[in-house]
A and B are shown apart, each in its own frame.
Chain A
Amino acid sequence: MYIIIAGCGKIGANLVKNLSNEGHDVVVIDPNEDNFAQLENGTNCLTITGVSIDEDVLKSAGIEHADALCAVTSEDNVNIMTAQIAKQLYHVPHVVTRLYDPEKDEIMRQMGLETVCPTMLTVAKIGELLEKTEEE
């Protein structure tokens, strides 16, 4: 698959690593060039310096023939806008959006975006661990 990752933070960098190890073609976009230093040496991917809510940047990342896009910048609204451009304007088949705000996560899911909310995942996991401790 040809995959675009918007945002090269901790999640973005690890996503790039996993996906390229699995043999996917990966392009990663970040406005801050220094963030690409987080990519491990020898990681096979293209890097593009720019903001992912700029159509020209997305085009240079090859959005017209991308199979998937993951919006994982640190800003919820940037992720929403990036995902909307990918989904509605370029009809990218698979678009995943990371949102920190659980309320926004819920609403955007109702509007048809496929979302991941690390906040709620963490809350659920901690709850699960506490329950387990209680049982022991």
Chain B
Amino acid sequence: MRILIVGGGNVGYYLVKTLMAEKHHIMLVDSSLARCERVENAFGGAYVEVTHGDGTNADCLRDAGIYHAEALIAVTGQDQNNLVSCMLAKNYFGVKRTIARVKNPKNIRVFEQLGVDSVISSTARIAGSIDQELDWADVNALLTRQATHVRVREALVAQSSPYNNKRLNEIGLPKGMIVVCVVRDGEAVIPDGTTVLQPDDNIVILGNECDLPQVISNIRGETK
């Protein structure tokens, strides 16, 4: 299938990687040259074509080859941009199937009512898992079987934590470690580099088991 992906951030990158393995023909659009180059260098070729431009602009979508696309997937980090890409695809270019990612889970209903075929919110999915009191032990058992060094942990940010009021991209997490989710005031947020940690945030963190203890004690503000 020919698929046009708008947004080449982390979600877009791994989407290209996954879909190309399934022999789909991918066209990717992103407004950042750096992100375009990252995808181009990793996967560029006959089955992955990258276009640098604004995926909410009809001319750019035309250049990227939207007339050949059977589906458009909008996965930028901004809900309004994802909606406009899907609207153009569906109503202006007549693309059969539109799929969008939303950050604000409340936009799932909005997007569906505005005609987007499938709407995905990782925030809602993770919040759902937490609501079901998902037991980390199960996840870790799974990880131990599949990926021996990776563990998932949960920790509460203390007032005394060195990470307090810092952005995720400035706290210097060890390589390969990611904050999967931040639960704040009962709401689960999927963080990015600019997310600022606050006291009482509950953090779900995934990483190498050797590095986790140090990071966890930093989060909890425990001095050694």
Contacts and interface: CB of A to CB of B under 8 A. Distances in A.
B59 to A, nearest CB: 7
Contact of B81 (A54, A77, A84, A107): A77
B57 interface: yes
B92 A107 contact: yes
Query: Binding site of B, secondary structure by majority: helix, strand, loop or mixed?
Result: helix
Interface string A54-65: 111000000000
Interface stretch (B64-72, B82-90, B121-129): B82-90
Query: Binding site of A, secondary structure by majority: helix, strand, loop or mixed?
Result: helix
A55 B104 CA distance: 10
B110 interface: yes
A75 interface: yes
A122 interface: no
Name the residue among B78, B80, B83, B84 with the largest chain A CB count within 10 angstroms: B80
B224 interface: no
Interface in A100-126: 101, 103-104, 107, 110-111
B84 A103 contact: no
Interface in B71-126: 78-81, 83-84, 87-88, 91-92, 104, 106-107, 110, 113-114
Contacts of A96: none
Contacts of A85: 110, 114
B80 A101 contact: no
A89 B79 CA distance: 17
Nearest to A80: B84
B58 interface: yes
Nearest to B109: A55
B218 interface: no
Contacts of B88: 107
Interface of A: 53-56, 75-78, 80-81, 84-85, 88-89, 101, 103-104, 107, 110-111
Interface of B: 56-59, 78-81, 83-84, 87-88, 91-92, 104, 106-107, 110, 113-114
13 contacts: A53-B80, A76-B56, A77-B78, A78-B80, A80-B83, A80-B87, A81-B79, A89-B110, A103-B57, A104-B57, A104-B58, A107-B88, A111-B91
